[in-house]
């Protein structure tokens, strides 16, 4: 647009109004068409996006039924203050009694009292737990606190925690195994003790503790045993005695982990545990699927509506018709259940009414589960040679919802069209600015010419009036 405009000073014309009217007349059809296209594409993106989201919800709802690990599970009951339970699908249905005899303990050793500023003695302290050991070099100036820090800071130490406890007699070095069980008992040996020999309980040998020799006469107990290293022990069905270095007994019964939490005393009732089939996830998975599909069904009717009540944004759209039609085909398709049997989703209890709304007949489903849960699993999961209903449905919906799927390609196409529309609008705006500038230039030039002509006319009339013998006739 030009910096200066005029309003017909010479001609009396309203130049600005004329130019605005001409430019506005040029703009109106383009803007109307562009706004309509933009609204249509934006609405299409929104509608297709809503369809994609609903399809993804259907996929997510069926995903648990596509996983073989979610079938033929086991429910464990009997957890109490004494035992905790967990069971995998490998657990067999059955009942057991469990008595906790001993809880696992971590080994804990304590030194005698030593003043905080007193040196302990020079030499090498070796600490061994299970299959690992490490050395601590102790200097002649080291106190118990220095030894504690050296133990905790050792890069080779992954088995012992050292602390200092102070009482009226002085400081005590406490060493505790990080893991429970007899196998994780602590052994400490001393070499190069400058305060005497390596076992005499003088100097650094005050920190020696070794009971690994079968002969108790050779045991070195210069440290006090605060807590004995113990394995956990349980008795199953009053007969089977089982030990563990931790309080968890893994697969002591096939597919079952038992955690000992508290010892049974003489007067305590023995814990009773049981394992039963748990197929509730099949029903809950189907209920989620039915709910998500019905929500998709409602959305599809809104998007594809056509009639006197108004049309939906995807009315007559082949993509919407296609995906909903293929989904309905899935419901009537039969899938292998093994042993030469096949079934469809409707036969398992998922029914569709005249409006396409699904419902679940749990009685029919439970009959199938009770009679052949393995067949139900194969129906949904499939086998090495054939897809089941759930993964077949996942493959179908992913064709539309994947990042390179049909719906995303359409969204990308519409987005690209919107970008091009924005570019064309900018180009059109520049063309309109050029037209406006040209019109102002033309009208202003015309106005100047008219002004000059008026001035010339006035001058000529004045000259004629002043000529001798010329008499102007008054009107």
CA 336 to chain centre: 33
pLDDT tens per residue across span 33-56: 888 888 788 888 888 889 999 999
pLDDT at 221 over 60: yes
pLDDT band at 475 (very low <50, low <70, confident <90, very high): low
Distance CA(390)–CA(375), nearest Å, equals 14
* Phi, psi torsion values for 163, nearest 5 degrees: -140, 165
Percent of the chain with pLDDT over 70: 94
Lowest mean pLDDT among 113-122, 243-252, 424-433: 424-433
pLDDT at 248 over 70: yes
Select the more confidently predicted residue: 262 or 72.
262
Lowest mean pLDDT among 171-180, 246-255, 312-321: 312-321
Residue 11: per-residue pLDDT? 58
Closest CA to 186 of 233, 226, 232, 246: 226
Is residue 122 within 8 Å of 140, Cβ to Cβ?
Answer: yes
Q: Residues, the chain, total?
A: 475
Residue 2: per-residue pLDDT? 44
What value does the mean pLDDT take over residues 356-377?
Answer: 92
Residue 3: per-residue pLDDT? 42
Please return the burial class of 248, using the count of CB atoms within 10 Å of its CB with bins 0-12, 13-18 and 19+.
middle
What value does the mean pLDDT take over residues 1-13?
Answer: 50
**Beta-bridge partner residues of 350:** 360
Residue 433: per-residue pLDDT? 84
Lowest mean pLDDT among 217-231, 284-298, 376-390: 376-390
Sign of torsion over alpha carbons 386, 390, 391, 395: positive
pLDDT tens per residue across span 183-209: 999 999 999 876 566 678 888 999 999
Residue 1: per-residue pLDDT? 43
Query: Which residues, including other chains, have CB under 8 Å from residue 380's CB and lie 6 or more apart?
Result: 65, 66, 282, 335, 388, 389, 390
pLDDT at 10 over 60: no
SS (H, E, C) the chain: CCCCCCCCCCCCCCHHHHHHHHHHHHHHHHHHHHHHHHHHHHHHHHHHHHHHHHHHHHHHHHHHHHCHHHCCEEEEECCCCCEEEEECCCCCCEEEEEEEEECCEEEEEECCCECCCCCCCCEEEEEEECCEEEEEEECCCCCHHHHHHHHHHCCCCCCEEEEEEEECCEEEEEEEEEEECHHHCEEEEEECCCCCCCCCCCHHHHHCEECCCCCHHHCEECCEEEECCECEEEEECCCEEEEECCCEEEEEECCEEEEECCCCCCCCCCEEEEEEEECHHHHHHHHHHHHHHHHHHHHHHHHCCCCCCCCCCCCCCHHHHHHHHHHHHHHHCEEEEECCEEEECCCCCEEECCCCCEEECHHHHHHHHHHHHHHHHHHHHECCCCECHHHHHHHHHHHHHCCCCHHHHHHHHHHHHHHHHHHHHHHHHHHHHHHHHHHHHHHHHHHHHHHHHHHHHHHHHHHHHHCCCCCCCCC
What Cα–Cα distance (Å) separates residue 102 from each residue in 181, 239, 272, 370?
11, 16, 18, 41
Percent of the chain with pLDDT over 90: 54
pLDDT at 284 over 60: yes
Residue 196: per-residue pLDDT? 60
Cβ count near 360 (within 10 Å): 17
Q: Is 420 left (phi over 0), alpha (psi -120 to 50) or beta?
A: alpha
Which domains does the chain possess?
A: 1-72+279-475 (1.20.1330), 73-103+231-278 (no CATH), 106-227 (no CATH)
Distance CA(45)–CA(412), nearest Å, equals 9
pLDDT tens per residue across span 162-181: 999 999 999 999 999 999 99
Q: Extract the tokens encoding 18.
A: 């004329």
pLDDT at 113 over 60: yes
Residue 157: per-residue pLDDT? 96
Select the more confidently predicted residue: 441 or 404.
404
Q: Extract the tokens encoding 39.
A: 């609204």
What Cα–Cα distance (Å) separates residue 238 from each residue in 126, 147, 156, 255?
43, 48, 43, 20
pLDDT band at 274 (very low <50, low <70, confident <90, very high): very high
Closest CA to 224 of 172, 157, 158: 172
Residue 106: per-residue pLDDT? 98
pLDDT band at 4 (very low <50, low <70, confident <90, very high): very low
* Mean pLDDT, all residues of the chain: 88
Distance CA(282)–CA(284), nearest Å, equals 6
Distance CA(205)–CA(122), nearest Å, equals 9
Half-sphere exposure of 267 (CA within 13 A, CB side): 0
What value does the mean pLDDT take over residues 266-295?
Answer: 93
Sign of torsion over alpha carbons 440, 445, 451, 453: negative
- The model's pTM: 0.64
Residue 297: per-residue pLDDT? 93
Of the spans 93-107, 397-411, 414-428, which averages the highest pLDDT? Answer: 93-107
Select the more confidently predicted residue: 310 or 300.
300
Cβ count near 241 (within 10 Å): 11
pLDDT tens per residue across span 136-164: 999 999 999 999 999 999 999 999 999 99
């Amino acid at each position: 647009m030009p910096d200066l405009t005029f309003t017909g000073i010479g001609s009396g014309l309203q130049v600005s109004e004329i130019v605005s009217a001409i430019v506005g007349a040029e703009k109106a059809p383009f803007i109307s068409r562009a706004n309509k296209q933009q609204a249509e594409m934006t609405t299409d993106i929104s509608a297709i996006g809503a369809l994609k989201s609903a399809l993804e919800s259907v996929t997510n709802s069926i995903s648990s039924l596509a996983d073989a690990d979610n079938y033929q599970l086991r429910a464990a009951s009997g957890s109490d203050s004494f035992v905790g339970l967990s069971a995998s699908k490998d657990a067999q249905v059955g009942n057991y009694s469990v008595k906790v005899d001993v809880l696992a303990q971590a080994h804990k050793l304590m030194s005698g009292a030593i003043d905080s500023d007193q040196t302990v003695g020079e030499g090498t302290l070796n600490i061994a737990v299970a299959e690992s050991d490490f050395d601590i070099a102790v200097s002649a100036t080291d106190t118990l606190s220095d030894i504690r820090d050296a133990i905790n800071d050792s890069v080779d130490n992954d088995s012992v925690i050292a602390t200092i406890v102070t009482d009226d007699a002085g400081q005590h070095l406490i060493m505790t195994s990080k893991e429970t069980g007899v196998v994780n008992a602590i052994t400490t040996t001393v070499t190069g003790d400058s305060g005497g020999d390596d076992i005499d309980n003088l100097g650094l040998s005050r920190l020696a503790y070794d009971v690994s020799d079968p002969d108790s006469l050779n045991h070195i107990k210069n440290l006090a045993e605060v807590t004995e290293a113990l394995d956990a022990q349980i008795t199953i069905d009053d007969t089977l005695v089982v030990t563990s270095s931790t309080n968890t007994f893994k697969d002591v019964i096939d597919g079952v982990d038992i955690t000992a939490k508290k010892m049974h005393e003489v007067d305590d009732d023995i814990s009773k545990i049981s394992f039963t089939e748990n197929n509730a996830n099949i029903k809950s998975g189907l209920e989620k699927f039915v709910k998500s599909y019905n929500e998709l069904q409602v959305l599809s009717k809104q998007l594809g509506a056509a009639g006197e009540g108004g049309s939906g944004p995807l009315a007559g759209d082949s993509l919407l018709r296609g995906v909903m039609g293929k989904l309905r085909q899935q419901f009537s398709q039969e899938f292998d259940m093994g042993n030469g049997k096949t079934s469809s989703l409707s036969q398992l209890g998922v029914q569709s009414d005249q409006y396409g709304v699904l419902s679940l007949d749990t009685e029919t489903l439970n009959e199938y589960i009770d009679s052949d849960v393995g067949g139900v699993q194969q129906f949904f999961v499939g086998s090495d040679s054939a897809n089941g209903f759930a993964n077949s449905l996942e493959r179908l919906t992913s064709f539309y919802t994947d990042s390179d799927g049909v719906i995303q390609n359409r969204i990308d196409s519409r987005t690209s069209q919107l970008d091009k529309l924005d570019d064309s609008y900018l180009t059109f705006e520049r063309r309109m600015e050029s037209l406006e500038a040209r019109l102002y230039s033309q009208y202003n030039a015309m106005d100047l010419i008219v002004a000059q002509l008026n001035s010339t006319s006035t001058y000529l009339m004045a000259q004629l009036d002043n000529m001798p013998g010329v008499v102007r006739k008054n009107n």
